[in-house]
């Protein structure tokens, strides 16, 4: 066994990435305070060709040295928009025909493994301490919860986002098209 060199990975160029078909979901970052987490969102969104990230409230925006350090350049490939509030981002997406789901521990949430991912859906991931803000919940069609069995009641938000992005990518069966 040997590690593959970068040129053996057959990665596409920035120009080709821009033109490539995207996984038709949007992630809404609700007041994510850590610049490292924001960078990780960008890097993972690039890996799974997520349509866009919507950065809301106190969530920092590119260009920023600390975001770039974790994103490793994905902050230059993944589309993003900034909104002053998560509610404004939700309303804009609803106006464009998107359904919205919180990734949060709430009454009647659906376990991730039981959730039926669909195109043109947005997922809200919340602040590292407070989670998804209460004001955004009325805009949601439902909620997804990642089952956990340890002593802690939550995962790091960028780790949680990575799991959700992978499941969406896999369940929307787009990996077949990207091969």
Q: Is residue 13 part of a domain?
A: no
Which CATH number goes with the domain that contains 114? 3.40.1280.10
Domain span at residue 36 reads 21-178
- Tell me the per-residue pLDDT of 82-129, one tens digit each, with 9 for 90 and over: 999 999 999 999 999 999 999 999 999 999 999 999 999 999 999 999
> Hey, what are 11's tokens?
């990665």
Q: Report, as an integer, the average pLDDT of 67-96.
A: 98
Q: Is residue 35 part of a domain?
A: yes
Q: Which DSSP state fits 127?
A: B
Is the pLDDT at 178 greater than 70? The verdict is no
Is the pLDDT at 177 greater than 80? The verdict is no
How many structural domains comprise the chain? Answer: 1
Q: Is residue 124 part of a domain?
A: yes
Segment among 3-17, 48-62, 104-118 with least mean pLDDT: 3-17
Share of the chain above pLDDT 70, in %: 97
Q: What is the pLDDT of residue 28?
A: 99
* CA gap 44, 106 in Å, rounded: 25
> Hey, what are 179's tokens?
């091969």
- 39 in Cβ contact with 71 (< 8 Å): yes
- pTM of structure: 0.95
CA dist 45 to 147, 155, 169, Å? 22, 18, 10
Q: Report, as an integer, the average pLDDT of 51-75.
A: 98
Q: Is residue 31 part of a domain?
A: yes
Q: Report, as an integer, the average pLDDT of 33-45.
A: 98
Q: Is residue 150 part of a domain?
A: yes
- Under the banding of pLDDT at 50, 70 and 90, the label for residue 6 is confident
- Tell me the per-residue pLDDT of 131-148, one tens digit each, with 9 for 90 and over: 999 999 999 999 999 999
Closest CA relative to residue 160, chosen from 73, 32, 66: 32
- Which alpha helices (DSSP H) does 12-123 contain, by range? 14-19, 35-47, 65-71, 86-95
Q: Is residue 10 part of a domain?
A: no
Q: Is residue 80 part of a domain?
A: yes
**Edge-to-edge strand order for the sheet containing 23-30?**
80-83, 50-56, 23-30, 121-125, 99-103, 142-145, 110-111
Is the pLDDT at 31 greater than 90? The verdict is yes
């Amino acid at each position: 066994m040997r590690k593959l060199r970068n040129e053996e990975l057959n990665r596409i160029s920035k120009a080709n990435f821009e033109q490539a078909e995207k996984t038709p979901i949007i992630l809404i970052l609700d007041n994510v305070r850590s610049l490292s987490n924001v960078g990780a969102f960008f890097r993972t969104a690039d890996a799974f060709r997520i349509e866009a990230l919507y950065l809301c409230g106190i969530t920092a925006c590119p260009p920023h040295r600390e975001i770039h350090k974790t994103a490793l350049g994905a902050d230059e490939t993944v589309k993003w928009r900034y909104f002053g509030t998560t509610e404004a981002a939700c309303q804009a997406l609803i106006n464009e025909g998107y359904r919205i789901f919180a990734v949060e521990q709430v009454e009647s949430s659906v376990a991730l493994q039981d959730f039926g991912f669909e195109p043109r859906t947005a997922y809200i991931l919340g602040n590292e301490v407070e989670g998804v803000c209460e004001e955004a919940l009325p805009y949601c069609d439902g909620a997804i919860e990642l089952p956990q069995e340890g002593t802690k009641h939550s995962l790091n938000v960028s780790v949680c986002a990575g799991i959700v992005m992978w499941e969406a990518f896999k369940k929307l069966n787009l990996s077949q098209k990207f091969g």
